[in-house]
Amino acid sequence: MIDVSKFNKIRANDLFWLSTEMLYIIGLGLGDERDITLKGLDAVKKCEKVYIEAYTSLLSFGLSTDGLSTLEKLYGKPIILADREVVEEKVDNILSEARGSDVAFLVVGDPFGATTHTDLVVRAKTMRVDVKVVHNASVMNAIGICGLQLYRYGETVSIPFFTETWRPDSFYEKIERNRNLGLHTLCLLDIRVKEPTLESLCRSVSDVAADTNCVGFARLGSEDQMIVAGTMKQLRTVNFGEPLHCLVIVGKTHPVEDEMLEFYKITTENPEQKGNGIV
Amino acid sequence: MIDVSKFNKIRANDLFWLSTEMLYIIGLGLGDERDITLKGLDAVKKCEKVYIEAYTSLLSFGLSTDGLSTLEKLYGKPIILADREVVEEKVDNILSEARGSDVAFLVVGDPFGATTHTDLVVRAKTMRVDVKVVHNASVMNAIGICGLQLYRYGETVSIPFFTETWRPDSFYEKIERNRNLGLHTLCLLDIRVKEPTLESLCRSVSDVAADTNCVGFARLGSEDQMIVAGTMKQLRTVNFGEPLHCLVIVGKTHPVEDEMLEFYKITTENPEQKGNGIV
């Protein structure tokens, strides 16, 4: 038997490993500033520089300039907004900083959730910068709240960015395949979609699933999250409010799944009785 | 358009809704007591009674009696261990308590992660007990750390409890189906398996995947987590140590996925150079 635990010991003897400098990639969770873990907050507090990725799911976090100052107050230090340009072009600068001091890179959700930061880790490891990951909830597991079992989901579908002249439809096939296997499908909208609303999402997939049971989510994990179950046709009549939105196409259900979905179901006859449900 | 946000206002006018009593189902994350979120800790602190589910993944949390007292110290209040019997038979007592005072139900990982607590929510809602969920990381998203993209996973496979006379094999089919589609497969061991080790897991699936690339995880999300990539044959020679273990069968990979897996890869020629990797 190879005892891989000894690798830790070898690394502990390595001077480089003993240096405390580290790139912390920290998941913030889905709701607000208090969704960070104690471990994540401990790490942020010991870091000299704190970056926050601002180009993917920041929207869901409700992070305006106000949101940022809420975070800064909690952390007791300034936060640098890292937009797509910073992350893609100046990442080596961030990583160089992480060689001489602890640096935090904050990510909405989990660092390896719907949007992964694998690239960042690969570049860090290549530059011999050590990385520590602090996990948190992401849309990939928080959707479990609607009652559909996570292990009964097929491949996740990313609805691409449609242009005037380019309307890719390869995702239809994946949705169909999952449905044929009785599996649920999580549909996420490409972050480049200007209106990442459930309405435009439904528009994109209604060809394959107009009468199919679906669950619509808005601001998942936030205090004002909205979860509504119904046919896609019904969901298209619902105003889900602010982004981010995502959609689950329901596969074959188990009785317990049905019971739970019932709490979220909207009926046209009696819309007041149902809807939002659990926070 | 039906404005579902008004449902909140309707409920706010409902006296029952205005009562502060609540059942909080709180995810603890995967590592130790400091993986709770600030929001989760806020909730625990205001609850009169605090239960912790002790029958699923508690093992992964390293929660011995010592672990429990660490939690109690952090929370400043006693914790009641809720084993399977308590949760299944006396859940109505817990829910009755939640009608008169705030009650916390702590769950390792996320409340709707690998093991869902849908049943508990359904019973609570039926008894008109309001429920608030505090999300956290679960194995379902934390496996993203190995670099394989979460949206490229097919259906999750639960390896069932084998007895002397009963060796179900329906999960083979799911693994094969995912592989044929080029998708990754997360394999979890049924919690009733006495030795929930990667070795027994590999034994179970080696018929379908002896030479397939896999990633083995032990104590995912903990400070001493272990992540090793290799063929299933190679992984069977590795001592992964204490539970919990899980296994990912690798599908068709993207170059970035390969780069990341490389950091975890074990080679028989030079085992010291590779292995554990990122914490």
pLDDT tens digit string along A169-184? 778 889 999 999 999 9
Domains A6-137 and A140-273 share a fold: no
Domain A6-137 sits in CATH at 3.40.1010.10
Rounded to the nearest angstrom, the minimum Cα separation between A119 and chain B is: 7
A29 contacts in chain B (CB < 8 Å): 37, 135-136
Q: Is A30 on the interface with B (CB under 8 A)?
A: yes
Rounded to the nearest angstrom, the minimum Cα separation between B244 and chain A is: 15
- Which residues on adjacent β-strands are paired with residue B25? B105, B133
Best of B136, B262, B272 to disrupt the A interface (most A CBs within 10 Å) is B136
Q: Is B38 on the interface with A (CB under 8 A)?
A: yes
What local confidence, expressed as pLDDT, does residue B19 receive? Answer: 46
pLDDT beneath 50: ranges in chain B: 1-19, 60, 62, 270, 272-279
| DSSP code of residue B143 | G
Q: From CA A197, how far away is CA B37, in angstroms rounded? A: 28
pLDDT beneath 50: ranges in chain A: 1-19, 60, 62, 270, 272-279
Compute CA A127 distance to the chain's CA centroid, rounded to the nearest angstrom: 27
Q: From CA B84, how far away is CA B68, in angstroms rounded? A: 17
Rounded to the nearest angstrom, the minimum Cα separation between A165 and chain B is: 27
Residue A21 CB-density burial (10 A; 0-12 exposed, 13-18 middle, 19+ buried): middle
Q: Is A56 helix (H, G, I), strand (E, B) or coil?
A: coil
Q: From CA B217, how far away is CA B276, in angstroms rounded? A: 10
Beta pairing class for B23-27 and B103-107: parallel
| Owner of token pair 């920290």 | A26
Classify residue A182 as left (phi > 0), alpha (psi -120 to 50) or beta.
left
Q: Is A158 on the interface with B (CB under 8 A)?
A: yes
Question: Can you read off the two tokens belonging to residue A193?
Answer: 């979609």
Residue among B138, B144, B275 minimizing CB distance to A7 = B275
ipTM of this complex: 0.86
Q: How much is the CA Rg of chain B, to the nearest whole Å?
A: 21
Do B112 and A2 lie within an 8 Å CB cutoff? Answer: no
Among chain A residues, CA nearest to B141 = A113
Beta pairing class for A245-249 and A213-218: antiparallel
Question: Can you read off the two tokens belonging to residue A9?
Answer: 């010991």
The helix or strand, by DSSP H or E, that contains position A128, with its residue range, turns out to be: none
Q: From CA B43, how far away is CA B24, in angstroms rounded? A: 7
Do B155 and A154 lie within an 8 Å CB cutoff? Answer: yes
Best of A23, A44, A73, A145 to disrupt the B interface (most B CBs within 10 Å) is A145
Question: Can you read off the two tokens belonging to residue A177?
Answer: 């395949």
Residue of A277, A245, A273 lying closest to A260 (CA atoms): A277
Q: Is B67 on the interface with A (CB under 8 A)?
A: no
Rounded to the nearest angstrom, the minimum Cα separation between B8 and chain A is: 7
**Contact residues for B32 (Cβ-Cβ < 8 A; gap 6+):** A39, B61, B62, B67, B70, B222, B223
Residue of B52, B82, B56 lying closest to B67 (CA atoms): B52
What local confidence, expressed as pLDDT, does residue A189 receive? Answer: 74
Cross-sheet strand order for the sheet of A23-27: A80-82, A49-53, A103-107, A23-27, A131-134
Q: Is B133 on the interface with A (CB under 8 A)?
A: yes
B277 contacts in chain A (CB < 8 Å): 125
What local confidence, expressed as pLDDT, does residue B215 receive? Answer: 95
8 A C-beta contact, residue A36 and residue B37: yes
Among chain A residues, CA nearest to B265 = A4
Do A154 and B149 lie within an 8 Å CB cutoff? Answer: no
Q: From CA A41, how far away is CA B278, in angstroms rounded? A: 19
Residue among A4, A155, A240 minimizing CB distance to B152 = A155
Helices A38-46, B38-46: axis angle to 10 degrees equals: 130
Question: Can you read off the two tokens belonging to residue B149?
Answer: 């993209």
Is B183 known as a binding-site position? no
Helices A65-75, A38-46: axis angle to 10 degrees equals: 80
CB under 8 A, 24+ apart: contacts of B72-76: B74/B33, B74/B34, B74/B36, B74/B41, B75/B41, B75/B44, B75/B45, B75/B50, B76/B45
Rounded to the nearest angstrom, the minimum Cα separation between A227 and chain B is: 10
Residue ranges of domains in chain A: 6-137, 140-273
Do B5 and A226 lie within an 8 Å CB cutoff? Answer: yes
pLDDT, tens digit, 9 for 90 and up, residues A61-75: 545 556 677 889 999
Do B119 and A256 lie within an 8 Å CB cutoff? Answer: yes
Q: Is A230 on the interface with B (CB under 8 A)?
A: no
Among chain A residues, CA nearest to B112 = A144
Top-level class of domain A140-273:
alpha beta
Give binding residues of A for S-adenosyl-L-methionine as ranges. 30, 110, 113, 138-139, 189, 220, 245
Rounded to the nearest angstrom, the minimum Cα separation between B180 and chain A is: 13
What local confidence, expressed as pLDDT, does residue A65 receive? Answer: 58
Q: Is B231 on the interface with A (CB under 8 A)?
A: no
Q: Is B191 on the interface with A (CB under 8 A)?
A: no
Give the count of Cβ contacts less than 8 A between chain A and B: 251
Do B135 and A181 lie within an 8 Å CB cutoff? Answer: no
